[in-house]
Every structure is written in C-alpha cells, then in structure tokens.
C-alpha cells in the first residue's frame, strides 16, 4: 500500500526566527491522522534565521537525529558536547548526521551563529526500543560520493557500515539521484518504509515526489527509485 502526502499538507509554524514544517503532529499542530509512522515520531523541516536558535531545553527517552541541508548548526548539551575543549565540537554541517540519545534526560541548545545565512535542517525523532538508557551523542560525516545513485546507510540499530547507532528498531538511508540514476531494492513487507524527499524531484514506486513530499509504504516487496532531478532523499526502514 502506498500513501502519498504532499509537502503543502504538512503542519507549519512561523515564529519569526524559526519557520518549521511538521510532517507529524508537533507542538501546536495536531492531526490525529498524522501522529507518527511506526517508531518514527517527528520530522520537522526547520529554517533558523541568522543569529538565532533554540535555547537550552530538555528531552527524555527519544532518539533525535539532526540532518543539516545548508548552513551550520551549533549544538551544546549537558553531556559536555559543544563546550570549549570538548572532544566533540558539536557543529553540524551538510553531510553530517548527528544522533543524540536523550535516555534518562539531557538538556541541549541549537544555534545558528552565522551573521547572514539561514540554517536549514531536518530534526527527526524516533522512539527508542529501550527507555531509561544513559544519554549519548554521536556525529559522523557522509560525503556526497557515497550517496550518489544509491542509498547510503547513515543510522542503524547496530552501527553497521559506519552508520551512527540509534537505540531503535529502525534504519535511515540517504541517497542522491539525478540524470537517469535508478535503484531497485527488496523490502521486507513486514516492515514499514517511509520516504521523505529532501529536495529536487523523484519517482518512488511510480509516485512522483517533489521536495517536502513523503510516501508511506506498507506491505510492499520492493522499493523502486527513478527519474530523479537534483534529488536528495531519506528512506526510513521501520521494524
């Protein structure tokens, strides 16, 4: 079963310094038909104005993945990441995938220090398969070449193939498709698959997607990607 959701159907919030599209119910946006998909709970497409950001706030028992599309995002947390002299600088740039496991509780801030450039990124929340774990942080870079014409594993439950480790029964793949590149790969019909088109245009299982569109895939045996034009896509395998 294929369910296409267009970008314009998402929730939207304009806070002045922050403009955010919500794929699922979040904050003041509530739609009982879009409360999440499997363990995927949040995809917010955020644009943070120059010199602004999220002040220090807390999370518990959630796997939070940040995926920067343009600009930079400075991260600082109660685990010491982002502090002066810390082993992890906490600045996220395009190509980086950051994973923060909130576990028993963590406080953090996210800021765009650029004087002129907007930071454009995706904030993704996935429900963990175990609650009350020790908070954790991981950040890795995945260059464009590793995603060109294919789906590169960037997050998984076991950290395989150099991906970041999320404490959830899920995996995230990132791909870049253009100029006739195509891909077909098998799907486990028992899993849910969620496709989110970050930019460009792309055909997925015969459905035409534009930037911000998403496709829910259930009880299907194959994922078919074709006809990409400057396309960047995220594919979620949800057990």
pLDDT of residue 228: 97
pLDDT of residue 86: 53
pLDDT of residue 88: 60
Domains by residue range for the chain, with CATH? 2-238 (2.60.120.10)
pLDDT of residue 77: 86
pLDDT of residue 84: 63
Closest CA to 171 of 207, 133, 206, 223: 223
pLDDT of residue 125: 98
Closest CA to 119 of 74, 55, 75, 71: 71
- Is there a contact between 108 and 57 (Cβ–Cβ < 8 Å)? yes
pLDDT of residue 61: 97
pLDDT of residue 157: 97
Spell out the residues 6+ positions from residue 126 whose beta carbon is closer than 8 angstroms to its own: 39, 40, 41, 62, 63, 65, 166, 168, 170
pLDDT tens digits for range 47-67: 999 999 999 999 999 999 999
The residues of the chain scoring below 50 in pLDDT are none
- Is there a contact between 184 and 149 (Cβ–Cβ < 8 Å)? no
pLDDT of residue 87: 54
Task: Tell me the pTM.
Answer: 0.96
């Amino acid at each position: 079963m294929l369910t296409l959701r267009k970008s314009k159907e998402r929730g939207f919030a304009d806070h002045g310094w922050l403009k955010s599209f919500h794929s699922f119910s979040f904050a003041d946006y509530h739609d009982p038909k879009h409360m999440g998909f499997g363990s995927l709970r949040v995809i917010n497409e955020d644009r943070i104005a120059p010199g602004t950001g999220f002040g220090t706030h807390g999370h518990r028992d959630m796997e939070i993945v940040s995926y920067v599309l343009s600009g930079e995002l400075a991260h600082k947390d109660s685990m010491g990441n982002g502090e002066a002299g810390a082993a992890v600088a906490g600045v996220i740039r395009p190509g980086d995938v950051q994973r923060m496991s909130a576990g028993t509780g963590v406080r953090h801030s996210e800021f765009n220090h650029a004087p002129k450039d907007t930071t454009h990124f995706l904030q993704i929340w996935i429900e963990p398969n175990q609650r009350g774990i020790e908070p954790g942080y991981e950040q890795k870079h995945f260059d464009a070449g590793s995603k060109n014409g294919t789906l590169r594993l960037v997050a998984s439950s076991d950290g395989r193939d150099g991906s970041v480790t999320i404490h959830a029964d899920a995996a995230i793949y990132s791909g870049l498709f253009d100029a006739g590149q195509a891909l077909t790969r098998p799907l486990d019909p028992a899993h849910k698959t969620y496709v989110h088109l970050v930019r460009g245009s792309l055909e997925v299982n015969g459905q035409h997607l534009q930037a911000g569109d998403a496709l829910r895939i259930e009880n299907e045996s194959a994922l078919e990607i074709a006809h990409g034009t400057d396309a960047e896509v995220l594919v979620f395998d949800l057990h």
